[in-house]
C-alpha cells in the first residue's frame, strides 16, 4: 500500500507545483497566508546542484517563515548535490528526498521535530548524516551517521556509513531502502525489534552480523542473515546468505531487491516462503524449492526476470497470485506434485502458457490438462528421471522442537545441502542421524 501511494505521488509530481505554488529564488513554495508560513514543494523542472533553503521568504511584501519541506518535494532529483536546511524548518514530509542519488550528506537542524515516511529512501550516494546538537526529538549519537528518534531509541534513517549504536532498540522498516553502497551491517545486542526488512534494495550488502549476545535475533553459522531466534524465521538476507538448516520460514521481504543474488539453496527445514521474499531478485537464474514447503505466498518470486527454471516439490499445495509473475524468461517448470497445487489466475506470467514447458508426474498429466489455470499451458509433458528433483532432506524433522542444524559428509566436511551418498545430520537436540541420498 505504501509503495502504491508513493507511485501515485510520483506520477503527480509535475502537477504538484500548482498555480498556488510560487517560485522565489529558484525554490518553489506553498504559502500559508494566515500562519505566514511557507512549505518547500516540488520544482516542475527538478532541483539540482546546491540548494540553500532560506529561513524566510517575502512574497508581495509579506514575509513568510519557511517551516516545512513537503511530501516528495525533492523526490527523484538525481542532480541534487546538497541541501542546507535552516533552523526554521520543523518538519520534513514523506519521501521528501526519495531517490536523490546525488545527495552525499544531510544535516538535520535542531529545530526539526517531524520526519515523514522514508524521507531519505533511495539516497544511494548518502555517506554522512548529522543531527545538530540540541535537537529535542532526534540525534546521531556516537557519530553513527544515522537519524535516531531519541525517546524511543528507534533508528529511522541510515546510509552506507551507518554504525548502529548499542543503545538502539528498534530499526524501522525502510531505513536503508535502496542504499546500494551499504556493504556490511552489524546488529548490536540492544536491538530487540526490526520492522520488516529495513535493507531491501541494498544490492551490495555482503555481510550481516548479529551480536552473539542479542536476545531476539541471531546470524547463526555465519549465515550472513538476520534470523528471529524464537521462530527460526529468516527476516533479512543478502547476496552472500547461506540459509541454515534450522530456518523454518523465509519471511516477508527477506531478500527483496537483492538484485545481485544469483543463486540460493533453500534447505528442507523451510516450510513457508513468505510474501515478496525474493521480489526483484533480477539475477536469480534458477530455484529449487525443497520437499518441505507447503505454500509459496503472493509475489514471492515476482520480477525474478532471470529465472529460467523452477522445481516445485510434491509438498506444495498452494502457490498464491503473483508468485512468479513477470518471470518472463521461465522456460521449464518442474512440478513434482501428483495432486495439482492450487494456483491463481496470475500466479505465472501469461506469456509462459506458450513459452514454457510444464513438466508433471506422468500419472497426473491429464489432471493438469483439465485443471484451470494449469490447463492453459500448451506444453504439458511427463517428468523423467533426468529432470531436476526438489532439493533437501526428507523426514528429518522429528517434532516441532527438534530440527537439523548441520550437515556433514562422511569425511567430516560441513555442507550446506545433503550430498549424494551418506550424510551425517546433527540435530538441534545434539543427536545425529545418518541419511543416505541416492
The 10s digit of each residue's pLDDT in 321-334 is: 999 999 999 999 99
* pLDDT for position 399: 52
Instruction: Please state, in angstroms and rounded to a whole number, the distance separating the CA atoms of residues 149 and 155.
Output: 6
Judging by DSSP bridges, how do beta strands 357-360 and 170-171 pair with one another?
Answer: unpaired
Instruction: Please state, in angstroms and rounded to a whole number, the distance separating the CA atoms of residues 112 and 121.
Output: 18
* pLDDT for position 397: 44
Report whether 242 contacts 267 (CB < 8 A): no
Instruction: Please state, in angstroms and rounded to a whole number, the distance separating the CA atoms of residues 343 and 129.
Output: 46
Judging by DSSP bridges, how do beta strands 226-228 and 27-32 pair with one another?
Answer: unpaired
Split at pLDDT 50, 70, 90, the class of 406 is low
* pLDDT for position 396: 46
* pLDDT for position 227: 98
* pLDDT for position 420: 56
CA trace torsion 231, 226, 211, 202 (10° rounding): -160
Instruction: Please state, in angstroms and rounded to a whole number, the distance separating the CA atoms of residues 325 and 24.
Output: 47
Which helix (H) or strand (E) element contains residue 9? helix 2-11
Bridge partner residues of 64 (DSSP): 57
Residue 119: pLDDT over 70: yes
Report whether 170 contacts 141 (CB < 8 A): no
Report whether 360 contacts 385 (CB < 8 A): no
* pLDDT for position 398: 47
Mean pLDDT calculated for residue range 171-191 = 95
Instruction: Please state, in angstroms and rounded to a whole number, the distance separating the CA atoms of residues 9 and 160.
Output: 26
Phi, psi for residue 348 in degrees, rounded to 5:
-115, 155
For the chain, the straight-line distance linking the first and the last C-alpha, in angstroms and rounded, comes to 47
Residue 273: pLDDT over 80: yes
* pLDDT for position 73: 98
Instruction: Please state, in angstroms and rounded to a whole number, the distance separating the CA atoms of residues 28 and 30.
Output: 7
Tell me which DSSP letter residue 340 carries: P
3-state secondary structure of 177: coil
Report whether 199 contacts 185 (CB < 8 A): yes
Report whether 193 contacts 169 (CB < 8 A): yes
CATH 3.80.10.10 spans which residues of the chain? 1-126
* pLDDT tens-digit readout, 57-74: 999 999 999 999 999 999
Cβ count within 10 A of residue 215: 12
* pLDDT tens-digit readout, 142-151: 999 999 999 9
Report whether 270 contacts 250 (CB < 8 A): yes
* pLDDT for position 16: 47
Instruction: Please state, in angstroms and rounded to a whole number, the distance separating the CA atoms of residues 46 and 280.
Output: 27
CA trace torsion 9, 12, 17, 20 (10° rounding): -100
225-228: long-range pairs with CB below 8 Å, 24+: 225/254, 226/187, 226/194
Judging by DSSP bridges, how do beta strands 379-382 and 357-360 pair with one another?
Answer: parallel
* pLDDT for position 404: 61
Return all residues near 19 (Cβ < 8 A) that are at least 6 apart.
none
Which helix (H) or strand (E) element contains residue 37? strand 37-40
- Looking at the domain 1-126, which fold is it? 3.80.10
- HEC readout, 43-95: CCCCCCEEEECCCEEEECCEEEEEEEECCCCCCCCCCEEEEECCCCCCEECCC
Residue identified by cell 497470485 is 321
* Percent of the chain whose pLDDT exceeds 90: 81
pLDDT averaged over the chain? Answer: 90
Report whether 27 contacts 66 (CB < 8 A): no
Amino acid at each position: 500500500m505504501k509503495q502504491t501511494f508513493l507511485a501515485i505521488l510520483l506520477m503527480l509530481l509535475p502537477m504538484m507545483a500548482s498555480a498556488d505554488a510560487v517560485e522565489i529564488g529558484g525554490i518553489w513554495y506553498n504559502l500559508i497566508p494566515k500562519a505566514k508560513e511557507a512549505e518547500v514543494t516540488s520544482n516542475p523542472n527538478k532541483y539540482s546542484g546546491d540548494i540553500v533553503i532560506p529561513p524566510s521568504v517575502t512574497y508581495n511584501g509579506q514575509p513568510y517563515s519557511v517551516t516545512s519541506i513537503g511530501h516528495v518535494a525533492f523526490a527523484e532529483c538525481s542532480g541534487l548535490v546538497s541541501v542546507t536546511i535552516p533552523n526554521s524548518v520543523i518538519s520534513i514530509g514523506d519521501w521528501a528526498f526519495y531517490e536523490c542519488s546525488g545527495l552525499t550528506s544531510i544535516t538535520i537542524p535542531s529545530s526539526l521535530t517531524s520526519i515523514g515516511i522514508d524521507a531519505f529512501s533511495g539516497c544511494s550516494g548518502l555517506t554522512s548524516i548529522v543531527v545538530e546538537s540540541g535537537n529535542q526529538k532526534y540525534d546521531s549519537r556516537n557519530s553513527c551517521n544515522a537519524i535516531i528518534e531519541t525517546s524511543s531509541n528507534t533508528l529511522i534513517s541510515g546510509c552506507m556509513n551507518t554504525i548502529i549504536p548499542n543503545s538502539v532498540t528498534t530499526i524501522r522498516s525502510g531505513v536503508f531502502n535502496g542504499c546500494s553502497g551499504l556493504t556490511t551491517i552489524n546488529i548490536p545486542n540492544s536491538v530487540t525489534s526490526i520492522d520488516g526488512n529495513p535493507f531491501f534494495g541494498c544490492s551490495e550488502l555482503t555481510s550481516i552480523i548479529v551480536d552473539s549476545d542479542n536476545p531476539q535475533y541471531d546470524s547463526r553459522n555465519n549465515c550472513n542473515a538476520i534470523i528471529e531466534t524464537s521462530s527460526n524465521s529468516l527476516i533479512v538476507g543478502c547476496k552472500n546468505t547461506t540459509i541454515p538448516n534450522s530456518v523454518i520460514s523465509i519471511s516477508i521481504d527477506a531478500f527483496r531487491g537483492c538484485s545481485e543474488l544469483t543463486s540460493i539453496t533453500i534447505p528442507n527445514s523451510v516450510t513457508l516462503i513468505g510474501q515478496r521474499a525474493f521480489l526483484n531478485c533480477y539475477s536469480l537464474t534458477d530455484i529449487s524449492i525443497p520437499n518441505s514447503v507447503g505454500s509459496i505466498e503472493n509475489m514471492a518470486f515476482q520480477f525474478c526476470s532471470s529465472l529460467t527454471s523452477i522445481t516445485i516439490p510434491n509438498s506444495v499445495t498452494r502457490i498464491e497470485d503473483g508468485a512468479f509473475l513477470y518471470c518472463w524468461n521461465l522456460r521449464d517448470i518442474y512440478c513434482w506434485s501428483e495432486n495439482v497445487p492450487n494456483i491463481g489466475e496470475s500466479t505465472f506470467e501469461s506469456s509462459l502458457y506458450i513459452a514454457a514447458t510444464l513438466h508433471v508426474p506422468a500419472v497426473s498429466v491429464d489432471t493438469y490438462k483439465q485443471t484451470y489455470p494449469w490447463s492453459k499451458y500448451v506444453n504439458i509433458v511427463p517428468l523423467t528421471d533426468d529432470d531436476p528433483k526438489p532439493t533437501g532432506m526428507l523426514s528429518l524433522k522429528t517434532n516441532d522442537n527438534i530440527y537439523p542444524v548441520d550437515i556433514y559428509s562422511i569425511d567430516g566436511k560441513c555442507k550446506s545441502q545433503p550430498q549424494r551418498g551418506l550424510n551425517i545430520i546433527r540435530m538441534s537436540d545434539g543427536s545425529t542421524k545418518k541419511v543416505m541420498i541416492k
